[in-house]
Structure formats: C-alpha cells, structure tokens
C-alpha cells in the first residue's frame, strides 16, 4: 500500500509513519521542516524512520515540501492509497501573533490536499483536527462531536475550517474522509514546549516545576500510542467515512495535579512555582469518545498516569539528546 503522511517528521505524523512502515507499507513523508521547534527533533524522527525502513519493514521516501505549494502536494499524492494529513502550524498561543500564516498552512494547505485528492482514488483520507475547535464552554464537558464548535483562538479557528472542509469534500465530492479531533496528545518525541515534557525535564534537572496560572485548568491528555492505534484501525474500515471523531483518553487531570504526579515520580523534594497564565487557553477539556468506540472499537490503552509513567521512562532513556531540546524551547 502507498501511504502518504503529511507532516511525517512531526510528532504524531512521525509515529503514524513508523507504524505504517512496520506494517510493511511504502511510506511517503511530506514535510517542510518548519523550525517551529528545534529541527534536531525532526532529524531524530527521520533517523528513527530510516532505521525501521532499513530493517526491511516497508520503504520510506522523505519529500521536502510545503502543503501551501499546490505543485508539491500534487507530486506527493500521485497514486497514493492512504493519506494521513498531519502537516499543520501548531500552537494556540503563537497563532495569536501570526494568524495569517496559521490560515495559510492549516486551511489553504488542507484545501490544496483535498483538491489534489479529487483527481486521485485514495482508499481513505484521515485529517488531523483538534479539541481546540470546541472553545471554552465548560457546560458541555465532556465534548461530543455534536456539540457547538466555538474556537477561541486563531489556531482553533483554522483547525475547525480544515475539518469542515474535510466533511464537505466527503459529502459533495464523495471523498472517503475521516476527521479526528485529538485531545492534547503526548508521548515520545513530543513537542518540547508542552507541559508534560517541560515538567519532566525540569524535574530531572532538579529545577522547580513552573505552572502557568493557578493550576486549576485541566486537560484530557491522550497518549500517542492510542492515537496511532485508531489511525491504524481506520486504514481497514469505511465505518467512519464522512464522520468526525473525538480521540482522547476520556479522562482529565488538572495541571497542578499533573505537576505533582510528575514531581513525585522523579524527585518529591522539588518545588512547584506559579507564573501568570494565558487567557487564550480553554480552562478545561475532556473528550466524549463513545462514537469512536461504537464505530471503531476504540478504547484507550493508557490512563493519564500510565502514559505519564511511560513518557518518564522514555525521557530517562533518551535524556542525552532530548533534554537540551526541551530546555532550549522554554
């Protein structure tokens, strides 16, 4: 099977590309190596993918290209069977400073991909969206796919536009599109500027953990292995075509509790500090994953505590190269 992973040198895309290589598929990665965070992380992902391919598990082609460039998208999509679209401009807070670029990448780039795939005959197109589309209405928790979508940031707005385009192309042009709304994904090789990677890094370094705000805000954190599993399931079924699905753990934890759990697992003597928060952040998120469970048999394998423990073990094993990237992102 010919598989295209846009953003395949990024965090989630890299894990999906690895799983597809391990399944023996021919994997194309389209990535523009955006220096949103340290490019050594993309280099590490590329090396990991090459190592899998060198073992005889599938074949790998890494294409340097940008989804904003229609000709590059067209070249990457030729004769493709399965598409995982994870190329995106990430980050709620940075989107406030540069909404136009976020629109160009997350909306125009997605439209370029969908338009191109109208001329191909893919078996499935899986678009990555975000829990940020729901906004901050806490009366709706846990968020279900039928709940109102009222994003409160440019990032959330662009992700909503992208997932709506996906559903429209499924309905109007009969493309086999599935939209996945991810809830705060974390795990090995995650973006270094996220709360979990930051807390773990500071704890290993013996530095105080820093919480933005009072720590009462909470998140549904989803371990990346569960995200890979649901993407793997979608490759083999059309049950979710034309649908949008929430992908989360179905649980939530406050940031203060998360910091305490990580601190206590590494060094209980470390202090926890508070800094000014950000009004643009939604106070709480939690996914209703019952639709994904019904259509795909989705059941998260990792609780938040289990996933955090797994990440701490991975961090300890890869601290020599990963820790400097986290410290450099703060």
Contact 63, 24 (CB under 8 A): no
Residues forming the active site: 155
For every residue of 237-265, DSSP letters joined together read --TTTTEEEEES-S--EEHHHHHHHHHHH
d(CA 56, CA 72): 28
Angle at 317 between CA 315 and CA 208, to 5 degrees: 40
Please, which residues have CB within 8 angstroms of residue 215's CB and are 6 or more apart in sequence? 254, 255, 256, 257, 259, 274
For every residue of 174-229, DSSP letters joined together read ---EEEEEE--EE-TT--TTSHHHHHHHHHHTTPPEEEESSS--EE--EEHHHHHH
What are residue 5's phi and psi, to 5 degrees? -120, 105
* Beta strands 209-212 and 2-6, pairing class: unpaired
Exposure string of 288-317, with b = 16+ CB inside 10 Å and e = fewer, is bbebbeebbebebebebeebbebbbebbee
Contact 67, 116 (CB under 8 A): no
């Amino acid at each position: 099977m010919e598989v295209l992973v846009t953003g395949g040198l990024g965090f989630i895309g890299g894990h999906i590309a690895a799983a597809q290589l391990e399944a023996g598929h021919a994997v194309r990665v389209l990535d523009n190596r955006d220096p949103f965070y340290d490019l050594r992380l993309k280099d590490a992902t590329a090396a990991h993918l090459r190592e899998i391919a060198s073992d005889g598990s599938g074949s790998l082609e890494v294409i340097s290209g940008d989804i904003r460039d229609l000709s590059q998208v067209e070249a990457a999509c030729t004769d493709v069977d399965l598409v995982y679209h994870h190329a995106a401009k990430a980050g709620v807070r940075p989107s406030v400073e540069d909404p136009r670029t976020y629109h160009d990448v997350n909306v125009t780039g997605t439209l370029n991909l969908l338009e191109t795939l109208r001329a191909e005959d893919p078996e499935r197109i899986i678009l990555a969206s975000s829990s940020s589309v729901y906004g901050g209405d806490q009366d709706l928790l846990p968020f279900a796919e039928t709940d109102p979508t009222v994003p409160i940031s440019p990032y959330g707005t662009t992700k909503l536009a992208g997932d709506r385009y996906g559903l429209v192309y499924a309905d109007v042009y009969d493309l086999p599109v599935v939209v996945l709304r991810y809830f705060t994904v974390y795990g090995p090789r995650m973006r270094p500027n996220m709360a979990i990677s930051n807390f773990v890094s500071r704890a290993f370094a013996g530095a105080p953990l820093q919480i933005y705000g009072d720590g009462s805000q909470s998140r549904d954190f989803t371990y990346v292995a569960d995200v890979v599993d649901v993407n793997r399931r979608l490759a083999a079924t059309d049950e979710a075509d034309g649908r949008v699905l929430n992908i989360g753990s179905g649980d939530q934890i406050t940031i203060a509790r998360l910091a305490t759990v990580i601190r206590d697992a590494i060094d209980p003597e470390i202090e926890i500090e508070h800094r000014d928060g950000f009004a643009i952040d939604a106070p709480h998120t939690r996914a209703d994953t019952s639709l994904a469970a019904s259509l795909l048999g989705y059941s998260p394998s990792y609780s938040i505590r289990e996933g955090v423990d797994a990440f701490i073990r991975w961090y300890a094993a890869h601290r020599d190269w990963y820790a400097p990237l986290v410290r450099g992102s703060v």
